[in-house]
Amino acid sequence: MFNARTPVSGFRAIQWLRRVALLAVAPLAFAVHANAYAATVLPLTVPGYFDPVGKGAGYWNDLATTAAKVPTTVILNPDSGPGTNADAAYIAAIAKVHAAGGRVIGYVSTSYAKRSLSAVVTDINRYIALYKIDGFFIDEMTSDSVTSHIQFYQSVYNYIKGLSPAYSVTGNPGTNIPELYASLPTADQFVVFEDSAKRYASYAPAKWQASYPAKRFVHIVYGATEAQMPGIVSYAAMHGAGSVFVTSTGLPNPYKNLPAWWSQLVSSVLALR
């Protein structure tokens, strides 16, 4: 996932074959067609990569308000991870989301299995010590079939579940993955699309995903217009997503805010019920 707290040069461009799709007529580009998936409720998974002060405090208040209406998971990312000390503003913001019925999960970087397991474990333990969280967002997950990579993420998953089976684990490869990641598992839920609205028009889930519940898959779309957003939400619901996030902001920092049309996004999600 693009981390708002590090330069764009530190991000991997998602390398996956996709057909080019123009969105000049966005609502038509995202026309919904029948397939193996159906959705009745589409929760939100939101990268909350903004400090809960100033405008950021308003965004966190919006998330708490949303959590009372729609199942909402907020990804907490104080400092490209938990940081070293608890921040009172984050503690208060998390409490508001929890009071409204939402969930908060901690961002953990893995650098595509290049980061040491001990460093990842340190971040996990620090989140638990500093904040009241419901699980973990394991970012920069590999999407290949290399055995050592898959074993790395299985070790992270097993460590978290050993702390408490109640902790959720969301992995973010940002693209489709081999089924083994899900079947072992290496996470409870996977972000199988994280890219621009332009690329999303040609996204198709891996065939094996149809054998798994939609709640195991998340779609995150950035650089969308307000006109495109309702079609994107519908497209996600019909293409295997069990959770979604759509924002207007694009690169290099897609998650520095909520879109100006946040309330319209919430309405679009509610319309699927």
pLDDT 10s digits, 120-150 = 999 999 999 999 999 999 999 999 999 999 9
Q: Quick check: is 235 in a domain?
A: yes
Quote the CA–CA distance of 167 and 24 in Å, as a whole number: 42
Alpha carbon distances (Å) from 150 to 29, 112, 143, 260: 35, 10, 9, 38
Q: Quick check: is 209 in a domain?
A: yes
pLDDT of residue 33: 36
Which portions of the chain are predicted below pLDDT 50?
A: 4, 6-29, 31-39
Q: Quick check: is 34 in a domain?
A: no
Q: Quick check: is 17 in a domain?
A: no
Tokens of 37: 């998936």
What stretch of H or E contains 157?
A: helix 147-163
Tokens of 226: 């307000």
Q: Quick check: is 97 in a domain?
A: yes
Task: Give the tens place of pLDDT for each residue, 175-219.
Answer: 999 999 999 999 999 999 999 999 999 999 999 999 999 999 999
Tokens of 86: 């608890």
Tokens of 120: 């990842």
The DSSP bridge pattern shows strands 168-171 and 189-196 to be: parallel
Q: Quick check: is 10 in a domain?
A: no
Q: Quick check: is 136 in a domain?
A: yes
Q: How many domains does the chain have?
A: 1
Q: Does pTM top 0.85 for this prediction?
A: yes
Quote the CA–CA distance of 175 and 205 in Å, as a whole number: 9
pLDDT of residue 38: 40
Q: Which residues contact 224 (CB under 8 A, 6 or more apart)?
A: 197, 232, 246, 247, 248, 259
Q: Quick check: is 33 in a domain?
A: no
189: helix, strand or coil = strand
Omega cis (within 30) before 252: yes
Q: What phi, psi does 99 have (nearest 5°)?
A: -60, -30
CATH number at residue 140: 3.20.20.80
Alpha carbon distances (Å) from 261 to 2, 221, 233, 258, 267: 21, 14, 13, 8, 10
Which one, of 138, 232, 129, lies nearest residue 185 by Cα?
138
Q: 233: domain range? A: 40-246+258-268
Tell me whether residue 208 is exposed, middle or buried, using C-beta atoms within 10 angstroms of its C-beta: 0 to 12, 13 to 18, 19 or more. middle
List residues bridging with 107 in a β-sheet: 137
